[in-house]
Amino acid sequence: MSGVALVAHHERGTARSHALFSAAWCSEHGHDFWMPTQDADALDLAEHRSRRPVAEADVVLSLGGDGTMLRSVGLLDGAATPLLGVNLGSLGYLTEVEPENLADALAKFFAGPETGEWSIDDRMMLDVSVNGVRAGRALNEAVVEKSESGHTIRLLARIDGEPFTHYAADGLIVATPTGSTAYSLSARGPIVSPRHRAVLLTPVSPHMLFDRSLVLDPSEIVEIEVSGHRRAALAIDGQPVTRLDDGDIVTCIPSDVTANFVRFGAYRYHQILKAKFGLADR
C-alpha cells in the first residue's frame, strides 16, 4: 500500500495542524501517511516519522511555500512521484492549493487522473556537476557566485565546449524556465513560460558592458570555469554546495527527469504571474 508522504516548512505556525489534518484524512480514507524524520521531529509528530522514502508515496504533499517545494523535489531525487504544493507562504509560484482546499484536493487526486480533475505539470530540471563529478539537480537554478564581499570574480562561460566570454561579475546564474521567476529575475533576467524548454544564462551585477541574459536551447551545454585567484562558490536552488577554486568547472545540462506537479484544471501561468506582481488590466 502506498499513500501520502508529507514534507513541511518547519517554521510555519500552521504546518503542524495541517499535517495532523492530512494524517487524519488519510487514516479515514484508508491511505498510509508518513513524514521524513526531520520534518516529523521538527513539528513534534514523532508518531508519523519514517525513514521510508517519500518517492514510495502516491503523492507527496508539500506544506509551505516555494522553498518547501524545492526541498520536496530534492527529496524525490528524480523520482516521478506527483508533488502537490499547499501554499502556506506568500508568493507560491509552485504551489497549487490553499490549505482550506486540501481535503477536496486529496479526494480529487485519489479519484484518479481518468476523472479529468487533475493533470501533471512536468518541469525541466538541470543536472549539475563540478569537474565531472555530480553535484546535484536544480529545479530553479545553479549559481556560481563570489564567496567574498567587495570583489567581483572572473568566470569563463562556455557553450557546447566553445568559449563565449569572460564575465567580471558577482556571479553567473544558469536557470530553467521555472527558475526564470527566481534569482534570475532579480538579476534582470527574462521571464520564460515553464512550458518552454530552455536554459538561461544570467550575469549577476556584471562589471562590464555586456550585461544581457542568454536564452539557450536545452541541448546546449553550459560550462562555467572559475578564472583567477578569487574563490567562488556553487549554490543549487539556493543551497550552498561547494567552494570553487581557479580552474574548477561547473557544468549544467538538462536532466533526463522532471519535477511533476499536480494541477487541478487549466494551469494559467500568465495569470498567476499577473497576480503575484499585482499587474492591472489597464
**From CA 228, how far away is CA 244, in angstroms rounded?**
11
CB 159 within 8 A of CB 222: yes
What separation in angstroms does the CA of 57 have from each of 5, 53, 80, 83? 6, 8, 10, 10
The DSSP secondary-structure symbol of 14 reads T
Told to judge if 66 belongs to the known catalytic residues of this protein, a careful annotator would answer yes
**From CA 105, how far away is CA 103, in angstroms rounded?**
5
List, as one string, the DSSP characters of 58-73.
SEEEEEESHHHHHHHH
CB atoms < 10 A from the CB of 142, how many?
A: 29
Q: Are strands 232-236 and 222-226 parallel, antiparallel or unpaired?
A: unpaired
Annotated catalytic residue: which of 66, 121, 127, 170? 66
Q: Which residues contact 84 (CB under 8 A, 6 or more apart)?
A: 59, 60, 61, 62, 96, 97, 105, 109, 261, 262
**From CA 60, how far away is CA 72, in angstroms rounded?**
8
Residue-level length of the chain: 282
Q: Which helix (H) or strand (E) holds 140?
A: none
- Up-side HSE of residue 195: CA atoms within 13 Å toward CB? 5
Q: Which residues are catalytic?
A: 66
